Amino acid sequence: MPDILIGQTLSFAADPQIAGVSAARHETRGGLLLDSGRIRALGAAEDLVRAHPQARVHDYGQALISAGFIDAHVHYPQTAIIASWGKRLIDWLNTYTFPEEMRLNDPAFARATAESCLDLMLAHGTTTMCSYTTIHPASVDAFFAAAQARGMRALAGKTCMDRNAPEGLRDTAQSAHDDSAALIARWHGVDRLSYVITPRFAPTSSPEQLEALGALWAAHPDCLMQTHLSEQTDEIAWVRRLFPAARDYLDVYESFGLLGRGAVFGHCIHLEPRERARLLEAGAALIHCPTSNTFIGSGLFDMAGLKAEGQRIGLATDIGGGSSFSMLRTMAAAYEVAQLGGTALHPAALWWLATAGSAAALGLGDRIGNLAVGMEADLVVIDLASTPAIAQRAARAESFWEALFPTIMMGDDRAVRAVWVNGAPVARPG
């Protein structure tokens, strides 16, 4: 039986940061018809109800119905170490991340971590995530099995590292290639799952491993490739020492065939002009991780400049370097970072980044991230008066955007009234 969801609705005809706020389409009393996991119609609520009297009606009143949030850069193995105190990137990896990732060699531990992460994400309204795992194939199996059980569209790949990591957390060039190839055969394209070829970052992969993963990507061009790029200045200096012949950090990846339309680079804070030009030319995606960038002191992402160049940009929590599972909090951090750079991002631009922008960055803009006929029905329903502080500010609003902005800046999982995945409601705790 089809379902009709009624409430305020928000969709996009284009990126409002480029095309203007008019590219965002808000309906005060809109509706969506869902059937067989997809959006089959949308329009005025009363018209849909009259046209489809057999449908079940879910009236959310003044709550906002949106495409579900899409988190484009996550480390699910770091779920339990989120908000760990006081380290910059390299020390943070050695102190917190690597010891925790070693534990995912145990399939039961990996399974419990994946389930915890996905349930936390869903509780915060995130319906799709693109995750790193660990070197252990069992960590990939655990993530995909948990996502499959929840009906989620999800992306992930074995995190490959063969140097500058502890014993027990290193693979080899050959095993990275062979394990990844086997995991592609097992999971890529199954249900709503996609495999992502995943060298962690240049310092933890030898030239031989990067070459092997470049060859693997060439053999499987329908997979994405994800890694980190120019997150911290000391990281960049380390890359220069390890790869002295490279023109810059990006050149390391490009020289091994790891740059192209399906490349997804996390952070991208301290880019050289040549790197920016090549990223744009290659059609790669840049993922902004604002809570992580501030939490571990990495720097400020140049949203305005990169957007003006025409770069493809998504948004992400980057847990556990990021300090929140909430894409609302991540939007708020993106706003604050942009303010420090002299740009006040409009609420429409922030919402685009967390939905359609991230979908486009992951090559999924034709399937998720927006409300449109034929799109997969991954939805979040947001209460725009979820706390007394938000409610009193929203009550003074003179426009929809003024009512939405307090939820972006002060909202959390309490604002998430309902989540739908693949056309079905997700059971919420309590």
The answer to whether residues 118 and 144 touch, using CB atoms and an 8 Å cutoff, is no
Tell me how far apart the alpha carbons of residues 258 and 251 are, in angstroms, rounded to a whole number: 9
Identify the three-state secondary structure at position 122: helix
pTM score: 0.97
Tell me how far apart the alpha carbons of residues 310 and 315 are, in angstroms, rounded to a whole number: 16
The CATH classification number of 78-361 equals 3.20.20.140
C-alpha pair distances (Å), 275 with each of 52, 172, 229, 263: 52, 28, 10, 14
Closest CA to 164 of 77, 255, 226, 94: 94
- Give the model's pLDDT for residue 430: 47
Q: DSSP H helical segments within 54-206, as ranges?
A: 89-92, 98-102, 107-123, 137-149, 173-187
Beta strands in 279-427 (DSSP E): 285-288, 312-315, 379-382, 416-421, 424-425
CA angle 213, 322, 260 (to 5 degrees): 30
Tell me how far apart the alpha carbons of residues 142 and 29 are, in angstroms, rounded to a whole number: 41
C-alpha pair distances (Å), 126 with each of 74, 139, 263, 427: 12, 21, 22, 14
- Partners of 128 in the beta sheet? 70, 153
Tell me how far apart the alpha carbons of residues 222 and 372 are, in angstroms, rounded to a whole number: 24
- Joined together, the tokens standing for residue 203 give 């310092």
Closest CA to 331 of 381, 288, 387: 288
- Give the model's pLDDT for residue 123: 97
C-alpha torsion 408→231→228→131, nearest 10: -30
The answer to whether residues 288 and 301 touch, using CB atoms and an 8 Å cutoff, is yes
The answer to whether residues 100 and 80 touch, using CB atoms and an 8 Å cutoff, is yes
**For the CA atoms of the chain, what is the radius of gyration?**
21
Tell me how far apart the alpha carbons of residues 65 and 5 are, in angstroms, rounded to a whole number: 8
Closest CA to 358 of 269, 429, 289: 289
Residues ≥6 apart with Cβ < 8 Å to 305: none
Architecture of domain 3-68+370-425: Roll (2.30)
> Residues spanned by CATH 2.30.40.10 within the chain?
3-68+370-425
- Joined together, the tokens standing for residue 95 give 């102190």
pLDDT under 50: residue ranges of the chain: 430
CB-neighbour burial class of residue 218 (10 A; exposed 0-12, middle 13-18, buried 19+): exposed
Instruction: Report the interhelical angle of 137-149 vs 107-123 (nearest 10°).
Output: 40
Tell me how far apart the alpha carbons of residues 311 and 47 are, in angstroms, rounded to a whole number: 39
Burial 309-346 (b: 16+ CB within 10 A, else e): eebbbbbbbbbbbbbbbbbbbbbbbbbebbeeeebebb
> Residues spanned by CATH 3.20.20.140 within the chain?
78-361
The answer to whether residues 319 and 82 touch, using CB atoms and an 8 Å cutoff, is yes
